[in-house]
Amino acid sequence: MVQNDYLPPEWLPILQVVVGGIGDEDEENSVLFQLLSTVVEAGNENVAVHLPHIISLLVGQISKSIPPNPEPWPQMVERGFAALAVMGQSWGESMPEEVELSESRETWLSGQATLAKAFSSLLQQAWITAVQPMEGGISDLEASPSCIDDSSALLRSIMRSITTYNELLELKVSELLVAWADSIANWHAWEEMEDLSIFECIKEVVNLHGKFGLKDFIVRGLPSPPVPPVPQRSIIEGIGAFVSTAIAEYPSATWRASSCVHVLLHVPSYSSEVESVKQSLVIAFSEAASSRFKAICSKPCSMWKPLLLTISSCYLCYPDIVERVLEKKEHTGFSIWASALGFIATSTFEHGPSAESEIKLTVMALAKVIERLLGQGNQDSDLLRDCFTSLMEASMQLKELQEEDDNEEAEDDEDAGDDETDDDDDDNDDDEDSEDGEYEETEEQFLDRYAKAAVALENGTLVEEGDEEDLDQEVDLGGLEEIDQKSIVLSLIQRYHQVLIRGQSLPPPIVSTFLNSFPEYSSFFQLHG
């Protein structure tokens, strides 16, 4: 009836009956969980107001069925976690806008706090309480791999509700994260839809650590006696193990993992006492990325970008370490990576860095490579010339993108002062422009593309490249965002212009365009040509 738009006048009694009927019978539970999902979806905002209460009831039902031994979980528990993840997401989507009444927002925040307490209690039971102490000491905390995707969604909901350090302690977030990180470190059941919540949770963890400083995030304390004082894996080390493994998995996992690499290396603050942890991450990430790149490097494809930028992030942290990793994989590994990085920064590569943060990372990495080559005495190499040419192209692209952003901000400020009539006219014009600018692939083009893909697949040369949305993964550079890449390029040219400019055969069109963009460099190029 609900699916046919026969909606009840009151939703709460139905929800209570459905949740109350969930028990030990798998077949009956299957029907009830399906009914619960249907009611939540059909009720929308009418059901959303009751979600904190219903979620608390469902958590109570699920907690009765979690076994003392966490593996395997009964179907009722697995379905229950899936239902909680859906309802938690529905509640998150019902959050009032900032401009709405403060009373509505306070009500929502109160409900979110209720959800967080219920989710935390359930995860503590599933991951911590259910793990029985080992004989002679306390066992390592490790989350059950069952429903790790839905569990990650619940954990993310908890973290997003935290507004004070006391809440962090009350909800035992650090303890939950230790168990969760240990579990994903040993993750082997790779499936695209199940892994997405884990990747989303990773970035939320780093964000929360930046706000409050999580216990056991970078370094985990030694266990209490009588357990031997052996160092245990920290939260970020567990996450790092998952990410480095993900780089070698299916294409979307590679893109998402590469995005996480930048966050893990550049957003947290690593003191000198924990520098070894960062070094270990750099080794693991660069080894995984270089191995994956070696497997697909025979033919340029969009997968080059995330892998090469991953190595770039690692290289900016520890050039010596990354060079050793690259040379260990292949004798000319460093030159191959540097050459490929320079290539994707040129206009001839279709899937090169396009976001401002990606281009900035590329510019900084190329500048570091050039300085390294000069320091090694490679002043006459083709690699040096190609990297410097790519550096000029990337610098121009970055400046153009930044100017476009500045112009858009100025236009937005002007539009804010227009009256509603002008806004309506602008909207109509925008609609017309967008329709004119839409591109539709013709049948002939589709068949041609399909035929080429079929041939490539038959020949074994087709490389899966991930979903369209994966191509636009954001790059969070953390502290690197504060670095002025223009100053880096200027300093490089000032110190080495005799070699870079007057000692190289640079493409005149690129030099001319570069000087149009950066006339302040003209004095260094006067004798070029």
pLDDT at 140: 52
pLDDT at 132: 46
Is the Cβ–Cβ distance between 358 and 314 less than 8 Å? no
pLDDT at 398: 95
Is the Cβ–Cβ distance between 353 and 305 less than 8 Å? yes
What is the distance between the alpha carbons of residues 41 and 108, in angstroms, rounded to a whole number?
19
pLDDT at 431: 46
What is the distance between the alpha carbons of residues 147 and 126, in angstroms, rounded to a whole number?
11
CA 286, 288, 290, 296: dihedral to nearest 10 degrees?
A: -150
Looking from the CA of 521 toward its CB, the CA atoms found within 13 Å total 26
pLDDT at 234: 96
Domain 1-95+103-129+146-171 has CATH 1.10.357: no
Q: What is the mean pLDDT, run by run of 10 residues, along the chain of 529 residues?
A: 59 87 81 84 79 94 83 85 92 78 83 96 87 44 74 96 96 96 89 85 96 94 75 94 95 94 94 94 98 94 96 98 92 94 94 93 97 86 94 96 81 60 50 43 54 49 53 78 93 91 84 94 75
The DSSP letter of residue 348 is T
What is the distance between the alpha carbons of residues 95 and 112, in angstroms, rounded to a whole number?
9
- Convert the pLDDT of each residue in 29-84 to its tens digit: 888 888 888 888 776 777 888 999 999 999 999 998 888 776 678 888 999 999 99
Is the Cβ–Cβ distance between 138 and 178 less than 8 Å? no
What is the distance between the alpha carbons of residues 422 and 416, in angstroms, rounded to a whole number?
10
**Exposure string (b/e) for 333-343, b if CB count within 10 Å is 16 or more?**
bbbbbbbbbbb
Question: 64-72 long-range CB contacts below 8 Å, 24 or more apart?
Answer: 65/24, 66/125, 66/126, 66/130, 67/130, 68/130, 68/132, 69/130, 69/132, 70/126, 70/127, 70/130, 70/131, 70/144, 70/146, 71/144, 71/145, 71/146, 72/146
Question: Could you tell me where the beta strands, DSSP code E, fall in 138-287?
Answer: none
Length of the chain: 529
Is the Cβ–Cβ distance between 145 and 183 less than 8 Å? yes
Domain-by-domain residue ranges, the chain?
1-95+103-129+146-171, 172-221+230-329, 330-404+475-528
pLDDT at 356: 93
pLDDT at 136: 37
Q: Measure Cα distances from 79 to 30, 94, 203, 360 in Å.
A: 8, 23, 26, 45
pLDDT at 130: 55
Is the Cβ–Cβ distance between 313 and 266 less than 8 Å? yes
Rg (CA), the chain: 27
**Exposure string (b/e) for 71-84, b if CB count within 10 Å is 16 or more?**
eebbebbbbbbbbb
pLDDT at 436: 42
pLDDT at 393: 97
Give 184's contacts (C-beta < 8 A, 6+ positions apart).
148, 198, 238, 239, 241, 242
What is the distance between the alpha carbons of residues 125 and 120, in angstroms, rounded to a whole number?
9
Q: Is 409 in a helix, a strand, or coil?
A: helix
Residue written as token pair 């619940």: 154
Q: Name the token pair of 282.
A: 């750099």
First-to-last alpha carbon distance for the chain, in angstroms, is 79
Helices and strands in the chain, H and E counts:
22, 0
Q: Which alpha helices (H) appear in 297-349, and where do they start and end? A: 304-317, 319-329, 333-344
What is the distance between the alpha carbons of residues 502 and 524, in angstroms, rounded to a whole number?
9
pLDDT at 462: 45
pLDDT at 405: 80
